[in-house]
Amino acid sequence: MILIFGGTTEGRMVAKVLDESGATYFYSTRGDLQDIQLAHGIRLTGGMDVTQMTAYCQQHDIRLLVDAAHPFAEALHRNVVELTRIIRVPLIRYDRIYPPHDSDLVWCQDYDDAMRQLAKQGIDRLLALTGVNTIAKLQPYWQEHECWFRILNRGTSEQLVRKAGFPSDHLVYYQQDDTATLLQQLHPQAIITKESGTSGGFVEKIEAAREAGVKAFVVMRPEYPSSPDVAIEHVNGPHGLRRAVERLLPEFYPLHSGLTTGTCATAAAIAATHRLMTGKMPEQVPVILPDGETIQVAVHYSDGYVSVFKESGDDPDVTNGIEIRASVKRSDEFEIHGGEGVGRFTVPGFDFPPGEPAINKAPRQMMRDNIHENVSITISVPDGATIARRTFNPRLGIEGGISIIGVSGIVKPFSEEAFVASIRKCMQVAKASGSDRVVINSGGKSEKFVKALYPDLPQQAFVEYGNYIGETLKIANGLSIPNVTLGVMLGKAVKLAAGNLDTHSRHTTMDKAFVMEMLSEAGIDLDLSDLTLARELWERIPQEKLQDFATVVIDHCALHCTPLLPNGHLTILLITDTGTIFSTTSGE
C-alpha cells in the first residue's frame, strides 16, 4: 500500500498517476479544502504527528511513501523523512519544476532576509504574493511601510488576517491571472513572492512584474531535509514518478513503462557531450522530457560513442533491448545526423523533408533542450535496418532503418482490460461530479483544445479514451450519461470512420482507399499515392472544402458511434493539429 501526503497540484498528479494502476492507495491532507476526485484512492484528512503517522503506516502495511506536499511545508517534510527512517520504507519526493535563478530577481534566504533587502533597496510600497500565512512573518515590514497582501477569499484566511492585525483595506483577493491587473491598480515598487515553481504560478508573477517594471523579491524554497540512513528518490513529474514506483514497488502496476527511442537517443547524446566537454562519465544522466520534468537514464560508454539500451517495459515493441548510440564532436553549430540503422524519410508529409534522417521533431527538440553546446551529434542503431523490416516503416516510406520517435519520451503500457477498467472508473467519477455532459478525448493535446469549448465543466468531466472509443461509449451508455462529446483528431478519425472502434496502430492502419471514398463524397479530387499521415490532408485539401470533408468524416464516425449511445446525445468534434474544431451533433 502507498501513502501520499498531498494537498497540492502535485498531489493531484500523484493520485492521477497511481489511479492508472487500478490499485488502492491512501491520500492524506491536513485539511479538507482540496477538491480532488480519487478513482482508487482512500482520502484521509487531519494532521498527524510522527507517532500517529508511524502507527497508521504499521496498521495499514504502508510500503511506500510519496511526499507531494507544498515546498514550504517544512515541518511536514521533516516528519515524513523521520517517518521513513522509523518504518524503513522507500520515500519518493514529488517536487515541482523550478525555473533558474535569474539575476534580475532579488533572491532571499527567508523572510527576515527579505525584509533586510527590502529596506536596503528602499522599497516603501510592496505587493505581497506570498499567501496569508506569511502576513505574521512580514509584520515588521508592513507596520512601517505600505503593503498589500493577496489572499484566498475564504473564512480561514480572514481569521488569520484578523489575528495578525493586518488592515483589511489592504487586502486583495485571488482571481485568475490578476497579477498584472493588481500591479496596474496599486503601483507598488516591488512584489515579493515565494519560489513556488511553475505549478505555483511563479513564472506568471515574475513576467507580470517585469512587464510592469517593478522589482521582484523571491523567498527561496527551503532545502528538502535529508537523513544519512534514508534514501529519498526525487522526481518532478508524472513519468519519473511512475518509473520510481515501478522500481520501488514493482507489484503496484501490473504493466511497467519504458523509454522511447527518442529519450534513449537524447540520453546517449547528453552523456557523449558531457564526456567530450568535461571528461566525466556518470553512470546515469538527467534527461529533460518534453513536459519539462527530468528523469535519470542509465548510459554505457565505449570508444567513440555512448550507448543506451532501450527498455520498452511491458509494451510489445520490436525495438525492446536494442542499442542506440550517439557519437559527438565539436562543431560551429548544433547539428543532428542519422547514422547506421536510422531510417530516412523518402516521401513528404513527415516533420522533415525526404532525405532527412527519420529522427522526429520531438526527439530533436529534446536534444536541443538538453544540450547547450555547439556539437555535431550522430545517432546510430547497429541493428536498426534489420529491425525496421518488422515495423510499419517501409509501408510509411521510411527506409534503411528505424525511426527515432516519441512525443512524451515515455512508453506507457496498458493491458486492454486494465485500461478499460480505468476508463470506467473515470466515467463513474465524471458522472458523480454532477455534470450532465462528459467530454471524451484521446489525450492531453485534444483535451486542451476541447476544454476551451466547455469552460464551465469540472475537470472530472473530461475523460481520456486512449484508443478505446467504442468501449468508452458503451460505458457512457451503461451509466446513462445524457450528453457525450467525442473529441477526435484526424489520424484516429479516419480509422473510426471506417468502423474501427479501437484505433490503436497495432490493430489498424489508415485505409487510403476509404479515405479516397470520403474525399469523393465531399467533392474533392486528390492524389493520395504519396500520403503518409492522415494529418497531411489538412494541408492538401483546399481551404473552402475543409468543412465539407470534415462533415463527411464526422458523419461516418457517427454512423458507428451513435448506436453505442442509444439513449443519449452524441456530439463529435473533429480537431486539427492547430486546434481548429469542426463539429456536428447526432442522436437528437
Q: How far apart are CA 76 and CA 73, in angstroms?
A: 6
Q: Which residue has the higher pLDDT, 433 or 345?
A: 345
Residue 586 has pLDDT above 50, yes or no: no
Q: Select the CATH number that applies to the domain covering 258-411 from these four: 3.40.190.10, 3.30.360.10, 3.30.2110.10, 3.20.20.70.
A: 3.30.2110.10
Is the pLDDT assigned to residue 414 strictly greater than 60? no
Topology (CATH) of 106-219: Rossmann fold (3.40.50)
pLDDT band at residue 3 using 50, 70 and 90 as cut-offs = very high
Q: Give percent above pLDDT 70 in the chain.
A: 95
Selection from 259, 134, 242 nearest residue 191 by Cα:
134
**For residue range 266-281, what is the model confidence (pLDDT) as tens digits?**
999 999 999 999 999 9
> Are the C-beta atoms of residues 583 and 554 closer than 8 Å to each other?
yes
Q: Do domains 2-97+225-252 and 106-219 have the same CATH topology?
A: yes
Cell of 20: 492508472
Give the pLDDT score at 567. Answer: 87
Residue whose C-alpha is closest to residue 440's, from 467, 414, 410: 467
Task: List, for residues 360-386, the tens digit of each pLDDT value.
Answer: 889 999 999 999 999 999 999 998 999
The class (CATH top level) of 2-97+225-252 is alpha beta
Q: If you compute the radius of gyration of the chain from its CA atoms, what whole number of angstroms results? A: 27
pLDDT, tens digit, 9 for 90 and up, residues 313-337: 876 677 888 999 999 999 999 999 9
Query: How far apart are the C-alpha atoms of 552 and 274, rounded to whole Å?
Result: 53
Question: How far apart, in whole angstroms, are the C-alpha atoms of residue 371 and residue 358?
Answer: 20
Where would I find the H helices in 397-443?
A: 416-432
Q: What is the mean pLDDT of residues 41-46?
A: 90
Banded pLDDT at 417 (limits 50, 70, 90): low
C-alpha cell at 27: 491520500
pTM (predicted TM-score): 0.70
Regarding beta strands 106-108 and 462-464, do their DSSP bridges make them parallel or antiparallel, or are they unpaired?
Answer: unpaired
Q: How far apart are CA 219 and CA 502, in angstroms?
A: 50
Decide if 44 contacts 62 (C-beta within 8 A).
Answer: no
Instruction: Kindly list the domain boundaries of the chain, sorted by start residue.
Output: 2-97+225-252, 106-219, 258-411, 416-586
